[in-house]
Amino acid sequence: MDGTGHRIAALTAREAGLVGCRHCTRVSPIGTQTCPRCGGSLESRDRTSMQRVWAWWIVGLMAYIPANLYPMLLTRTVGQVTDATIVGGVIELAHHGAYGVAAIVFFASVIIPVGKFIAIAYLAVIVRRPHGHKPSQLLHLYEVVEWIGRWSMIDVFVVAILAALVQFNLLATINPGVAAVCFALSVVFTMLAAISFDSRRIWDQIRRTSDESPA
Partner 1 sequence: MTPSDDLVCCPVCDTLHEIHGVEEGKRLRCVRCNTVIAVDRPEAIVRIVVLATTSLVLMFIVIFFPFLELRNGVFDSRASVFETAMTFNRGVMAPLAIAVTLFVIVLPVTRLVSFVWALGPLSFDRPPLPGAAFALRLAETLRPWAMAEIFMIGVAVALVKLGDLATLAMGPAFWSFAAIVFITALQDTQLSKYSIWTALDTASQR
Contact set with Zn ion (CB under 5 A): 21, 23-24, 26, 35, 37-38, 40
Q: Can residue 184 be called a binding residue for partner 1 (CB under 8 A)?
A: yes
Task: State the Cα torsion 62-149-87-68 to the nearest 10°.
Answer: 10
Element (H, E) at 76: strand 73-77
User: Do the strands 73-77 and 18-20 form a parallel or antiparallel pair, or are they unpaired?
Assistant: unpaired
Minimum CB distance to partner 1, residue 24 (Å): 4
Q: b/e map of 155-172 (b: 16 or more CB within 10 Å)?
A: bbebbeeebeeeeeeeee
Segment interacting with partner 1, rule: CB under 8 A, options 46-54, 64-72, 124-132, 185-193 = 185-193
What is the 8-class DSSP label of residue 151? G
What is the 8-class DSSP label of residue 81? E
Q: Which C-beta is closer to partner 1: that of 61 or that of 104?
A: 104
Q: Can residue 148 be called a binding residue for partner 1 (CB under 8 A)?
A: no
Segment interacting with partner 1, rule: CB under 8 A, options 56-64, 112-120, 126-134, 164-172 = 164-172
Binding residue count for partner 1, defined by CB under 8 A: 79
Q: Which C-beta is closer to partner 1: that of 132 or that of 168?
A: 168
Residue of the chain from 33, 129, 168, 208 that contacts partner 1 (CB under 8 A): 168
Q: Which C-beta is closer to Zn ion: that of 37 or that of 134?
A: 37
CA distance 130 to 132: 7
